[in-house]
Amino acid sequence: MATQKRTAAELADFKRELTQVVPHLRAFARGLCGRPDMADDLVQETLLKAWAAQERFEPGTSMRAWTFVILRNAYLTDMRRNRFRGEFDENVAERILTAPAGQEEPIHLSDMRRALLTLPPERREALLLVGAGGFSYEEAANICGCAVGTIKSRVGRARAALNTMLDEGDIPKRAIDDVNAHRALLEELDLVAAGNGLSEPTR
Amino acid sequence: MASNKGKTAGSGSRGVGKEKDVRRKEAARPPGWAYGLRQLYDSVVEEPLPDSFKDLLSKLDAKQ
């Protein structure tokens, strides 16, 4: 790898941009692993990795997308080590999300979280990226290192599942009991082990 | 080109009110939880940053 020395101004830019995306990294991580404490650990790990890899960041490209890739890879690696089990944090106070004007029912934050955590990880992350993070399908595909069509189908399936759970009030009690989620996770980890799941934080 | 909204084949009836065709409804308007999902994300984005992050960020400079 050709390591080019960055100018002081470039370093300062990198640092500033990295600082700016921290809240987004926290939100993405929280959505992925469900536990605020673990999510923050993951973000700290991500920041250190991003800092160490800063020569690979291309100035002018999206810092948020670049760091999301790093966070995602760190998450998958930690998952393999069994650090996160997608547990629902029972201690989070029950809050109610407000409904937008003209819409019927506000949703309980805890329901939303729990429903999200029952999704297989790859669908959950696709939905988080597109539905919450506001990434385009193309950007999400780059972050996940997969085809655009794959992202579309994951988001579609995630939406269908959430429709059933939240609009019809059919949410499993415990996210961890979900057998499908585990199977999908193991499949994904096989892909990662084969070198296909992790995407390079480049371009 | 004037694109035709009701392009998909299938049930031809287009009731204005309560549609039975769920799939069409989803396409037309995001479900209630979609807004909640966004809020869930935004609520974390808007949280004040814990000191541990400020500490970490300030230590990064020393590391280069």
What DSSP letter does each residue of A81-140 carry, written as one string?
A: TT-------TTS---EEPPPTT-S--EEHHHHHHHHHHS-HHHHHHHIIIIIS---HHHH
A183, pLDDT greater than 90: no
Q: Looking at residue B3, what is its pLDDT?
A: 45
CA distance A161 to A186: 20
B31: containing domain:
27-63
Cβ distance A15 to B40 less than 8 Å, yes or no, reads no
Residues A86-94: what's their mean pLDDT? Answer: 51
What is the count of structural domains for chain B? 1
- Domain-embedded: residue B42: yes
- Per DSSP, helices labelled H in chain A are 8-33, 36-52, 63-80, 109-118, 121-127, 137-144, 148-162, 179-193
Q: What is the DSSP string of B6-45?
A: T-S-S-----SS--S-HHHHHHHS--HHHHHHHHHHHHHH
- Domain-embedded: residue B51: yes
CATH code for the part of the protein at A11-80:
1.10.1740.10
- Domain-embedded: residue B55: yes
Residue A78 banded pLDDT, cuts 50, 70, 90: confident
- Domain-embedded: residue B11: no
Fold exhibited by the domain A96-193: Arc Repressor Mutant, subunit A (1.10.10)
Residues A46-69: what's their mean pLDDT? Answer: 95
Query: Considering only CA atoms, which of A180, A71, A124, A183 is closest in space to residue B40?
Result: A124
pTM: 0.73
Residues A107-130: what's their mean pLDDT? Answer: 88
All residues at 6 or more sequence positions from A172 whose CB lies less than 8 Å from its CB, including other chains: A114, A118, A165, A178
Give the distance from CA A120 to its chain's centroid. Answer: 12
A26 in reach of chain B (CB within 8 A): yes
Cβ distance A26 to B44 less than 8 Å, yes or no, reads yes
Q: What is the ipTM of this complex?
A: 0.75
Cβ distance B57 to A15 less than 8 Å, yes or no, reads yes
Closest Cβ opposite residue B38 in set A11, A99, A131: A131
The domain segmentation of chain A, as residue ranges, is 11-80, 96-193
Shortest distance between the Cα of A24 and any Cα of chain B, in A, equals 6
Select the highest-mean-pLDDT range: A118-127, A167-176, B3-12: A118-127
CA distance A175 to A177: 5
Shortest distance between the Cα of A196 and any Cα of chain B, in A, equals 28
In degrees, to the nearest 5, what angle opens at C-alpha A166 toward C-alphas A136 and A64? 25
Closest Cβ opposite residue A22 in set B37, B41, B53: B53
Query: Considering only CA atoms, which of A194, A26, A135 is closest in space to residue B41?
Result: A26
Closest CA in chain A for residue B59: A48
- Domain-embedded: residue B15: no
Name which of A10, A98, A162, A165 to mutate to probe chain B: the one with the most chain B Cβ atoms within 10 A of its Cβ: A162
